[in-house]
Amino acid sequence: MAFPPRNGPNDVVAEPAVALPWLTMDSPAPDDAPKRYLVRTFGCQMNEHDSERIAGLFEADGMTAATGLDDADVVVLNTCCIRENADNKLYGTLGHLKSVKDARPGMEIVVAGCLAQKDQDGIRERAPYVDLVFGTHNVHRATELLHRSRAEGPLTEILEATVADDHELFPSAMPARRELGHAAWVTIQIGCDNSCAFCIVPAVRGQEISRPFDRLVDEVEGLAADGVTEVTLLGQNVNSYGRDLTLAARQAGGSGRVRPLFAELLRAVGAVDGIRRVRYTSPHPKDLRPETIAAMAETPAVCEHLHLPVQSGSDRILAAMHRGYTAERYLEKLAAARAAMPDLAVTTDLIVGFPGETEDDFAETLELAAAVEYDSAYTFIYSPRPGTEAAERVDEYVDPAAVADRFDRLKVVLERSALAKHEGRIGRTEEVVVEGPSRKDPSITTGRTGQNKLIHFVSPDPLRAGSYADVLVTGAAPHFLRGELVAVTAGARHRTRIPVAAG
């Protein structure tokens, strides 16, 4: 499943479209000074994680982080092609960068990520001042390619598939410059073997490749030793993690079954000393197995939160999307998860206005959403992604006015259940990991509950990010909780920054 954005529905993480407050003219580093880089990320957690790795590779190569565009010698745009208007955002941003580069000819512009993978030579055809374009399969060569572009001139290198070994292949196995010390993402798998009709991910990220089990556990042990207490396992379809590993083992003469290893991975990572919280994203409902539900229920560190993207409540639309399950099957799996974990928060992704969606189809989506009573949901208005099967179904595109009306009606149902779920937490004491002072009101502390709910609470003293605290929930809104500190239960253990960590 494509990752939901971290900042909310229909949002693009971390990056403006074309209004760039970071654009001013200033002097770059002198020739003998270390070059300074700036990485701007568009898109999902996988892209953010790739950006951490690009930054880590640059730092391992002697570069330092710029404070902004003012002092950046190398600007990397790590692009996403999943969100709407990705092209416009990229080329709008590049247009602004061109004016900076005109004033500072030594500045280097790099385009990486999914859109680079998809558009390939097209990027430098439209923006010839770009120095380097590389795709999703050669992030591990970012510094080498940058050196080559300096020596040989502008360069585009896109690999159609990954050919590197584990250490180079996976973002988590490369040097990292992690931004959030107490929590870390760990890529367990790249690519996707599914073929959802609306999704460009398989085309730009390739087939599923799982990272070896032992190396993942080793990495989490290393993170825990550095004070990380929360890990989020990342993959496009985490439930199928390890299927390729067991297949390869059998082809090599082994006798085991071809099967996913995700449940074992959850248990192993959850057992690492010092790891208090394990999250994962994203699972595919068709691959959610009883073993995974059991592992979640029986591993205390695994958080009581399941993000299970349903996309539609209509079997006809689910079939057109090639999702591989019916609404009934989805509800059965969810019921099994809730039976095993009664205090489970459930979130989802929903697409409104998929080509061919009728009012009856949408009524089934509303019915499913009301029946499930989600804690929250990312809702997306369908927008065609060139290169996907659904985008070809132009004759079946749904009238935008009808889609907007459906979107609003769905939002009412989802917000009603979110508020009810949040109100149900009032009076409970929840364990919260502190994220820091609230951006809107620094006198308020912000954190996350185990169910991944945002909570704003009052604390008599400032609390360091990464601390754990018991917080009494005193109020609720559709998108957050309010509370009061009861007690700090554990201080933060991480260093302020993990500068460079090799996997």
Stretch of residues binding ligand SF4 (CB under 6 A), selected from 195-203, 261-269, 340-348, 393-401: 195-203
Binding of ligand SF4 at residue 189 (CB under 6 A)?
A: no
The single residue among 155, 158, 192, 275 that binds ligand SF4, judged by CB under 6 A, is 192
CA 206/CA 362 separation, integer angstroms: 32
Nearer to ligand SF4, 279 or 284 (CB): 284
Q: How far is the CB of 424 from ligand SF4 (least distance, A)?
A: 30
User: Closest approach of Cβ 43 to ligand SF4, in Å?
Assistant: 13
When asked if residue 286 is in the footprint of ligand SF4 (CB under 6 A), the reply is no
What is the secondary structure of 245-277 as a DSSP string?
HHHHHHHTT--S-----HHHHHHHHHTSTT--E
- Closer CB to ligand SF4, 196 or 269, in the complex: 196
Q: Is 223 in the site for ligand SF4 (CB under 6 A)?
A: no
Selection from 390, 398, 318 nearest residue 350 by Cα = 318
To ligand SF4, the closest distance from the beta carbon of 1 in angstroms equals: 3
* Residue carrying structure tokens 């190569």: 61
Smallest CA-to-CA distance from 150 within 202, 110, 98, 196 is with 110
Cβ proximity to ligand SF4, 195 vs 299, nearer residue: 195
CA distances from 446 to 111, 183, 449, 473 (A): 34, 15, 10, 13
Q: Is 2 in the site for ligand SF4 (CB under 6 A)?
A: yes
Question: What's the chain's length in residues?
Answer: 503
Amino acid at the residue 349 = D
For residue 397, the minimal CB distance to ligand SF4 (Å) is 19
Per-position x/- string for 235-254, each x denoting binding to ligand SF4 as judged by CB under 6 A, each - no binding: -xx-----------------
What's 71's DSSP letter? G
Q: How many residues bind ligand SF4 (CB under 6 A)?
A: 12
265 binds ligand SF4 per the rule CB under 6 A: no
Please say whether the beta carbons of 444 and 456 come within 8 A. yes
Least CB distance to ligand SF4 at residue 357 (A): 17
Query: Strands 189-190 and 209-210: what pairing?
Result: antiparallel
Nearer to ligand SF4, 229 or 237 (CB): 237
Least Å distance between CB 314 and ligand SF4? 17
Q: What is the H or E stretch that residue 2 is in? A: none
Binds ligand SF4 (CB under 6 A): choice among 47, 117, 194, 232: 194
46 lines the binding site for ligand SF4 (CB under 6 A): no
- How far is residue 145's CA from residue 439's CA, in Å, rounded to a whole number? 38
Choose, by CB under 6 A, the member of 75, 201, 341, 492 that binds ligand SF4.
Answer: 201
Residue 1 touching ligand SF4 (CB under 6 A): yes
**Cβ closest to ligand SF4, residue 7 vs residue 207:** 207
When asked if residue 312 is in the footprint of ligand SF4 (CB under 6 A), the reply is no
Name 182's Cβ contacts closer than 8 Å, sequence gap at least 6. Answer: 227, 228, 229, 230, 433, 465, 466, 492, 493, 494
Q: Which stretch binds ligand SF4 (CB under 6 A): 9-17, 152-160, 187-195, 223-231?
A: 187-195
Residues engaged in binding ligand SF4 (CB under 6 A): 1-2, 192, 194-196, 199, 201-202, 236-237, 284
